[in-house]
Structure 1
Amino acid sequence: MNRHAKSPTFLLFIATALIFACSAARADGLIPPDTPLGPVAQIPGSTGYIAPDYDARRAALHSVYLAPIEIFLAPDSPYKGIEPTQMAALTAAFTDILRENVLQNANVVDTPQPDSMVVQIALTDVRLTKRSFRPRDITPVGIVIDGVKRVAGVSKVSLQTMTVQALGVSPDGETLLFAINNPPLPGDAGPEPVRLDEVPGVLGAKAERLKSVFLAIREHH
């Protein structure tokens, strides 16, 4: 292997190239519009793509790098004021779930290596709502209740919809190994939005469904 391949400059180049190639200039999702996605019969509503030579390419890659998860708010989201700390908490929770439940058998590395398959995940079509002001909020009791909720981490912001998208790319970012678009099933979110602090409880099911889609497209490619 080229002795320069493991240099910090080389790894920085890879990371920069991936960020540019896979997320710049797209404000609504992770998957490029020209990706040849096809329906996944076993998982209604989901679409996917896997490279014809995926198994051979994957055999040559000995680690997996899970890139920072991205969030794409839907243009028509009723609320767009999600705070950076809230986004960080949401993506950190999903990262932990993916590592524990989806990539538990993979050699996951903290920085991309020359032999890493880079996996990118995005939460797209995210629609949020925020509880509207109530007259009780300015009463002494309401102020106390709000204070207790803030301390307990109870959020006024709720999630209405969320699609999970995933890409697996080669170490140089030039070869697409797989792509998955995994929207919720009809009725998945239920009649009521999910409070943002409760969303981590929903992400486990999202991770399992993402895994099921990947296994389905790999089995039938």
Structure 2
Amino acid sequence: MKISIDPRFNASFLSAMQTTRAQLKMRAAWLLACAALTLALIAQPGVARAGYLIPDSVQLTPVAQFPGTTGYMAPDYAAQRARLHSVYLAPIEVFLSPDSPYKGIDPDQMAQVTRTFAQILTQEVMKDMTVVDSPRPDSLILQIALTDVRLEKEGFRLRNLTPVGVAINGVKRVAGVSKISFKTMTVQAIGASGDNETLLFAINNPPRPDDVPESVRLDEIPRALAAKAQNLKAAFEAIRDAH
């Protein structure tokens, strides 16, 4: 038995199929664009997905005054350091933990974090040192990284759609309040001589084991970095004094 089909149905069906195919193509293109953007963020220098600054071959030992902190200092550190008359601070790196709840931070925002940390270190920790813009044979090469970084981002909430929620979010944006927070962060540092790249010291300074992780918003990060810088300085002095 032959069934006749209304031509109008054929036209409507074909139109729907074409629309569906177009939507699928748009979705595929959107997914590819997102993947490309993610790869671009991962590839940004100074923003790595995982890893650490201090090589596994460096023998770190506990620092008694700072539970959880470990360090290394060359046996001839004092003699080596006496030959170095300037300090070069290499670009600070950031290593995101593989299990970071959020990984999509804007590279420009992360660059601002590292610039802020470099400024704090230069002005507060190394203020009595001769800091140079490029390494010299008589320079102490200082490499610093923020490792084990876990980020969080405030999720969407239905109350954000209410007039009050919209108004509050508007005020926060004007005030520069960020939705991105740092949940955990470890500071690692390596010091080497500029002439022969001899490792002089290494420090792994994570939060204390009994510290409760506290989220720090991106706009509040300078205060947290200032504390990290002072902790790093104190840990270095403890290692040096015990050497």
TM-score using structure 2 length: 0.76
Amino acid across the alignment from 1:171: G
Q: Take 1:143 and 1:171, find their aligned partners in 2: how far apart are those partners?
A: 54
Corresponding position of 1:49: 72
Residue of 23, 29, 43 corresponding to 2:52: 29
Corresponding position of 2:134: 111
Q: Report how far residue 109 of structure 1 moved.
A: 0.8
* Aligned partner of residue 204 in structure 1, secondary structure: helix
Q: Take 1:193 and 1:170, find their aligned partners in 2: how far apart are those partners?
A: 36
* Aligned partner of residue 97 in structure 1, secondary structure: helix
Percent identity between matched residues is 65
Corresponding position of 1:220: 242
Residue of 63, 81, 96 corresponding to 1:73: 96
Q: Take 2:99 and 2:182, find their aligned partners in 1: how far apart are those partners?
A: 13
**Which protein shows a greater Rg?**
2
Amino acid across the alignment from 1:49: Y
Which structure 1 residue ranges, 5 or more long, are not aligned? 1-22
Runs of 4+ in 1 over 4 A off after TM superposition: none
| Between 148-157 and 205-214, the greater mean CA deviation after superposition | 148-157
Assess, with a 3 A threshold, how the Cα gap between structure 1 residues 158 and 92 changes in structure 2: closer, same or farther.
Answer: same
Q: Take 1:36 and 1:191, find their aligned partners in 2: how far apart are those partners?
A: 27
Q: How many residues align?
A: 197
Deviations 1:26-54 (A, max 9, x none): 94110001101111112111000011111
Indicate conservation of the 8 Å contact 2:101/2:152, yes or no. Answer: yes
Residue of 208, 225, 240 corresponding to 1:203: 225
* Aligned partner of residue 177 in structure 1, secondary structure: strand
Q: Take 1:49 and 1:142, find their aligned partners in 2: how far apart are those partners?
A: 51
Indicate conservation of the 8 Å contact 2:152/2:182, yes or no. Answer: yes
Q: Report how far residue 136 of structure 1 moved.
A: 2.2
Amino acid across the alignment from 1:157: I
Q: Report how far residue 117 of structure 1 moved.
A: 0.7
Higher helix share: 2
Q: Take 2:84 and 2:102, find their aligned partners in 1: how far apart are those partners?
A: 41
| CA RMSD between the two structures | 1.9
Amino acid across the alignment from 1:86: Q
TM-score using structure 1 length: 0.83
Assess, with a 3 A threshold, how the Cα gap between structure 1 residues 26 and 174 changes in structure 2: closer, same or farther.
Answer: farther
Which structure 2 residue ranges, 5 or more long, are not aligned? 1-45
